[in-house]
Amino acid sequence: MFKLHKTLRSTKARLGILTTDHGTIDTPIFMPVGTLGSVKAVKQDDLVEHVKAQIILGNTYHLYLRPGCDIMRDAGGLHSFMEWDRPILTDSGGYQVFSLSDNRELSEKGATFQSHHDGSKHLFTPENVVETQRILGSDIMMMLDECPPWPCEYEYAKESMELTHRWAERGRKAFLDSDPHYGHQQFQFGIVQGGTYKDLRKESARFFAELNTGGIAIGGLSVGEPTELMYEMTDLNTDDLPEHKPRYLMGVGTPENLLQCVARGIDMFDCVMPTRNARNGQIFTRNGIINLRNAKWKHHHQYLDENFPSDLCRKYKMSYMHHLFRNSELLGLELASLHNLTFYLWLMEEIRSHINNDTFAGWYEGMAAQVDQRI
């Protein structure tokens, strides 16, 4: 499924193509997050035409609770339910069990939790999250893992990682013993854990390298630790991951993070930041970060960037965008969400182009500083 076309020598940046039954994905890639079967405030058509999204993400925890597996099965899976015919990756739900649900309890068997909607009790196991993701019909499914918080004691991180590994073996077996429901192939990715302890991180990466899943994710990062530590752990992990498997850094991140982590050998990213921050008026651009609510835009009757292919940049003046946000107009949320995703995908295309032209090493650090400044 994954073909590595190029690896730079100057940095660890790689160029590849991931092939699924719903289409191919150029890596490095960013995956917009469609938690509940909708990338918030963005139409599916716009994701294709304007954002140029190649793959999106759905959240198993959310979709399992609402609309639920019966409706998902009757609808013929998530692709059919949300009318999206490009690839979809779903997480296992583990992360949300720990971050959203009430009264969660961990055991060897799995994770029990109460729904954040109605208090109903549920159990996620390494096996049943495979089955749930068979019902969702995602092209790439993730294994159940425990994502420890940061900071976290060494002993906790070690035990948690070992549990994640035991769960991974069970999950792999459940995957191999089951079949897709809708005729298209599904792949399974494991998730490296180990907190921010180098020896655990290395042990976990080697464990997953051996497990021979379709791809490998790096989890447990971007959970509050300093950015430099996130970069260090990512760099460490990619050293031990098999070259010919795609590497997915979960929940990352800012445009700067994407540039820095591609340089450290990452192929895939997802994050709610472009859409969530858009809804607060924060706009990412090639020249830096803008807050549309800032009074400086009130009288700015100019377009932000007539050469950037988003409506927010070249079709509406900044004074109008400011007005929309100041008055909580839904159009502002739509235009900003669409813009930020278009920018993220544009940045990934720039990254791929620079890798392809062997100009990435000399470019990415300057670009990272540029996109990170406040303007």
Nearest approach in angstroms of CB 74 to a second copy is: 6
The reply on whether position 276 binds a second copy by CB under 8 A is no
Q: Helices 255-262 and 330-356, interaxial angle, to 10°?
A: 20
Q: Which residues participate in catalysis according to the annotation?
A: 91, 270
Nearest approach in angstroms of CB 141 to a second copy is: 21
Nearest approach in angstroms of CB 81 to a second copy is: 6
User: Would you tell me how many other CB atoms lie within 10 Å of the CB of residue 364?
Assistant: 22
Considering beta carbons, is residue 75 or 106 the nearer one to a second copy?
Answer: 75
Q: Which stretch binds a second copy (CB under 8 A): 39-47, 174-182, 261-269, 343-351?
A: 39-47
What separation in angstroms does the CA of 279 have from each of 41, 292, 330, 336, 374?
9, 10, 9, 7, 18
Contact 57, 31 (CB under 8 A): yes
The reply on whether position 41 binds a second copy by CB under 8 A is yes
The reply on whether position 306 binds a second copy by CB under 8 A is no
**Exactly one of 331, 349, 365, 372 binds a second copy (CB under 8 A); which one?**
331
* Count of residues touching a second copy (by CB under 8 A): 36
Burial-class residue 9 by CB neighbours within 10 Å (0-12, 13-18, 19+). Answer: exposed
Q: Which residues pair with 90 in a beta bridge?
A: 58, 141
Nearest approach in angstroms of CB 207 to a second copy is: 37
SS3 241: coil
The reply on whether position 335 binds a second copy by CB under 8 A is yes
**Residue from 176, 175, 204, 173 nearest 191 by CA:** 204
Considering beta carbons, is residue 1 or 48 the nearer one to a second copy?
Answer: 48
- Preceding peptide of 180 cis, ω within 30°: no
Residues 66-125 that bind a second copy (CB under 8 A): 66-67, 71, 74-76, 81-83
Considering beta carbons, is residue 166 or 314 the nearer one to a second copy?
Answer: 314
**Exactly one of 1, 19, 43, 116 binds a second copy (CB under 8 A); which one?**
43
SS3 3: strand
Nearest approach in angstroms of CB 51 to a second copy is: 14
Residues lying near a second copy in the complex (CB under 8 A) are found at 36-38, 40-43, 45, 66-67, 71, 74-76, 81-83, 298-299, 301, 311, 315-317, 319-320, 323-324, 326-327, 329-331, 333-335
